[in-house]
Structure 1
Amino acid sequence: MRSLQPKTSDPVGWSVLDSRKVFEAGDRLRVLRQTISLPDSRIVDDYYQIDLPSFASIYAVTDQDEVLILQQYKHGVGQTCLTLPGGQIDACEDPEFSARRELLEETGYGGGKWVAAPTMVLHGNQKIAKSHVFIASHVIKLCEANSGDLETSTLLTVPRKEVKRSMLNGKTPIASHVAAIGLAEMYLAD
C-alpha cells in the first residue's frame, strides 16, 4: 500500500496523488497520466486526462428567426456537415470576447443580445475540453466573413425548426454542437 499525499482531493473521495505530462503538442494538446486514489483506497496508476483548449460555440439567430450555420468538411467526422460558428478560446481570452470574435470572423455577423449558457466539459472522466456556449439573438451582418480557418465553409441561414431537424437527421454529427443547439433552444423557448 502506498502512502502518497494527495495533490488534490474531491469531496467524494477521489484524490490525485501524482500527475505527469506524457505528451504535448504546443498549446493544442496535452495528455496527462495521473495516479488516483479512490474512496475505497484503491489506487489507479494510469488514469489519463486529455487536455485540449477550451472553445466557444455560438447559436446565432437573426431577426428573421434564422440560425447562422456553417456547412463545412470536418476531418474528425470525415465528411461535410452542418456546424455552429465558434472556435478555440485563446489563452487568457474571455470566452464571450472569443465567441464574438469567432462569430464575426466566420460569418461577418455581430451585435445583438448575448446570453451565456452553462459551460460544459466534453467527457465526464477525461475532461478533454471546456465548451462555452453562447446564444446571440438579433445578430446583423456587419462585414464579409474572413476566418482564416483550415476549413472552407459556406454560411447558411436556416430557419430554427430546420436546425432541429438537421440535428435529428444526423446532419449535425458533432456532440458539442448538438448540446449547444439543445441548450440554446431551451433558452429561447422561455
Structure 2
Amino acid sequence: MSQSPRPWPRLRRGLEHDYTILKVREDLYADPRTNQEHPRVFLDTPEWCNIIAVTTEDQLVLIRQYRFGVQETTLEIPGGLVDHGEDPALAAARELEEETGYEAGRMVPLGSVHPNPALQGNRCHSFLALDCVKRHEGRQDHGEDITVELFPRAEVPRLILEGKITHSLVVVAFFLERLRAEAAK
C-alpha cells in the first residue's frame, strides 16, 4: 500500500484581499518531500447551498441569470451563500424563497462537495426541496436579476446532455439526487 501524501506546512500567511463574496490570499508552503517553498493561492469563501426545487405538480423550479465568468445567461437551480453560523438547510430554504418566491413543504439533504479543493476550503450543500408552492414573486438581493422557469422533472438528463445546464455544481446536485434515489431502491 502506498503512503498518503503528508500535509504541507504553511510558512507564511499572505496578505488578504477582501472582495465581499470571497477573500483572496497567497500563502507560502513547504513541500514536505523537498522542503522547497511554493506559493499557493487560496480563495476564502462562505459555504454555499444549491436547491433542486420540485413543485407539487412535479415541475422543476429553475432560474436563469447572467454569469460574469462566462459572460452569458445560464440555466441553474436556485442557490446561494450560507451566512456565517447559519444552518445550510435554513440557508437553502431562504435562498429558494428569495430567488423564486417558492417555499418547500419538505427539505431533504442530498450531500455536500468541495467545489474546488485546490483553491477553496468551503463546501457546497445540495438539497431536494419537495412540494414547493409559489408564495410570491421573490425578493432578489441587490445586484441579482433572476427569471424563474418551470420544467418537467424528466427533462433534467436532456438539459444537461444538450448543454442547457452547464454549471458543474448544479450537475453535481442532480447527480447526488440520482445516487440517493438509486441507493434507496
TM-score normalised per structure 1: 0.83
> Which residue does the alignment assign to 1:123?
116
- Matches for 1:7-156 after TM superposition, within 5 Å: 12-127=5-120, 129-156=122-149
Q: What do the CA deviations read for 1:109-152 (whole angstroms, capped 9, x no partner)?
A: 11322121222111132126421111111122222211125232
Q: Which amino acid aligns with 1:54?
A: E
Aligned-pair identity in percent equals: 29
Q: Distance in 1 between matches of 2:142 and 2:76?
A: 14
Where is the strand percentage greater, Structure 1 or Structure 2? 1
* Offset, 1:84: 0.8
Q: Distance in 1 between matches of 2:17 and 2:33?
A: 32
* Offset, 1:184: 1.9
Q: Identify unmatched segments of 5+ residues in structure 2.
A: none
- How many residue pairs get matched? 180
* Offset, 1:175: 1.0
Q: Distance in 1 between matches of 2:148 and 2:17?
A: 34
Instruction: Find out whether 1:168 has 2:168 as its counterpart.
Output: no
Q: Distance in 2 between matches of 1:44 and 1:57?
A: 37
CA contact (8 A) 1:74 1:81 kept: yes
Q: Which amino acid aligns with 2:91?
A: S
Q: Distance in 2 between matches of 1:117 and 1:170?
A: 23
Change (3 A) 1:21 1:37: closer
> Which residue does the alignment assign to 1:183?
176
Q: Distance in 1 between matches of 2:175 and 2:12?
A: 35
* Offset, 1:88: 1.1
